[in-house]
Amino acid sequence: MHEQAMNFLFPNDFHIMWSLMIVLYPYITGLVAGAFIVSSLYHVFGRSELKPVARLSMVASLSFLLVATMPLLAHLGHPERALNIVITPHFTSAMSAFGMIYGIYLILVIVEIWLIYRKEIIELAMRSTGFKRWFFAAVALGVYDISDESRAIDHRIIVVLAAVGIPAASILHGYVGFMFGSVKANAFWSTPLMPIIFLFSAVTSGIAMIVVLYIILTKLNSRQIAGDCVQSLAQWLWLFATLTVTLELLEIVSLSYAQDEEWLIVGPLIRDKIAVSFIGIQMIFGSLIPFILLGIVVLMRRYLTDTLRTVISFIAASILLIQVFAMRWNVVIGGQIFSKSGIGFRENYVPELGGREGVGMALLIVTIPFLVMLLFNKFLPLTPPPEGQVDAGE
């Protein structure tokens, strides 16, 4: 460490400790919560135009939920100790609370997906042979009743679970923002708005992911894209993206207007150290451009063809996925760049390519949920059944 840095850095303050994995962790949990919200818009609030993505959003939520803890495990020096936080809970610890929230939410999502696909599972068990028949019979739990009355009961339970899942998903990701916002010693993190910003950005990223996945999967299957579904997703995406960016700007403007000691640190941080990632990527490229594109889709929907609407929505959703990741990066990494002495800044963090916390590991973790969805779709369709078939999950 050069001599100038020694003037303001404490001996234990040389390196950024929370690296790419801690950026990836809230990003993945945000996708989990946001995708679940999309499904709940259909099941709970009766947004029938979202039927084509109701199943996809649920399976996507589960797929990313299964890998949500992997970034944390990769970051831990002793990942084998991770279960200690669950088997020896401490009810005043936010970290311990996450283990309980994660477990409850995981069970809720699995049960809801099982009810949605129960009819298909039973049909597979009845017409398959060998190991496949045994496996799906076990998944069906030995219950083969698919009468209208039984399916009606399934539907009522699905609605209840989806309703309960909305606050559960909100808590699951809002907790991440709470963890950062409760760090009083960090001027960039310590704000009551942090959990709310994380939550709204999570919904934004989840809806954006569903838009991208739905368009890609529909094109790959040579099926027609439902224009009303894309239009509705674009409208919800525009709403939550606008709310997210507004909250982000309000936080910065409030600090700037107050001109207190926090701004003496946050101001130079934004103007200098993370200007490219915050102003350039997160605000201008990631926020302004999608706001304009989605505004065109929402306000000029009568004048757009289905193809143009799909293309614009796909581009805007893809950019918003980058925007939310940039937001996570700026919060996690940016909040560690300034020294704990409050005087100067560390060197900019550049993630390594290899290693358990490198870019390669991050790409591997992000790839796993898509492989899970691909495997799931091989046996149980991510798209709704053909028109005319009644399904309680749809």
Domain of 86: which CATH number? Answer: 1.20.1630.10
Mean pLDDT lowest for which of 101-105, 185-189, 244-248, 251-255? 185-189
Which residue's entry shows tokens 């605000």? 283
Mean pLDDT, the chain, as a whole number?
87
In a domain? residue 167: yes
Report the pLDDT value the prediction gives residue 277, as an integer from 0 to 100: 92
Q: Can you tell me the distance from the alpha carbon of 60 to that of 154, in angstroms, rounded to the nearest whole number?
A: 21
Amino acid at 28: I
Nearest one of 116, 128, 196, 218 to 162, comparing CA atoms: 116
Instruction: Please say whether the beta carbons of 394 and 385 come within 8 A.
Output: yes
What percentage of the chain has pLDDT greater than the value 70? 91
Residue 293 maps to a domain: yes
What is the distance between the alpha carbons of residues 124 and 135, in angstroms, rounded to a whole number?
A: 10
In a domain, 393, yes or no: no
Any domain includes 173? yes
| CA-based torsion, 79, 83, 89, 92: positive or negative | positive
Residues spanned by the domain of 119: 15-379
* All residues at 6 or more sequence positions from 254 whose CB lies less than 8 Å from its CB, including other chains: none
Mean pLDDT of 375-380: 92
Q: How many domains does the chain have?
A: 1
Q: SS3 for the chain, per residue?
A: CCHHHHCCCCCCCCCCCCCHHHHHHHHHHHHHHHHHHHHHHHHCCCCHHHHHHHHHHHHHHHHHHHCCCHHHHHHCCCHHHCCHHHHCCCCCCHHHHHHHHHHHHHHHHHHHHHHHCHHHHHHHHHHCCHHHHHHHHHHCCCCCCCCHHHHHHHHHHHHHHHHHHHHHHHHHHHHHHHHHHCCCCCCCCCCCHHHHHHHHHHHHHHHHHHHHHHHHHHHHCCCCCCHHHHHHHHHHHHHHHHHHHHHHHHHHHHHHHHCCHHHHHHHHHHHHHCHHHHHHHHHHHHHHHHHHHHHHHHHCHHHCCHHHHHHHHHHHHHHHHHHHHHHHHHHHCHHHHECCCCCCECCCCCCCCCCCCCHHHHHHHHHHHHHHHHHHHHHCCCCCCCCCCCCCCC
| CB-based contact 316:285 (threshold 8 Å) | no
Q: Tell me the per-residue pLDDT of 159-169, one tens digit each, with 9 for 90 and over.
A: 999 999 999 98
**2 lies in some domain:** no
Residue 274 belongs to some domain of the structure: yes
- Choose between 244 and 265: higher pLDDT: 244
What is the structure's pLDDT at 392?
A: 46
pLDDT at position 237: 97
Distance CA 177, CA 179 (A): 5
- pTM, two decimals, is 0.90
pLDDT band at 50 (very low <50, low <70, confident <90, very high): very high
> Residue 70 falls within a domain, yes or no?
yes
Of the candidates 106, 255, 95, the one whose C-alpha atom is nearest the C-alpha of residue 178 is 95
Whether the per-residue pLDDT at 257 is higher than 90: the answer is no
Residue 5 lies in a domain: no
Q: Quick: pLDDT tens for 346-358.
A: 777 888 898 889 9
pLDDT per position as a tens digit, 328-343 = 999 998 888 876 666 6
Tokens standing for residue 254: 């409030």
Whole-angstrom distance, CA of residue 57 vs CA of residue 63: 10
Report how far residue 215's alpha carbon sits from residue 233's, in angstroms, rounded to the nearest whole number: 11
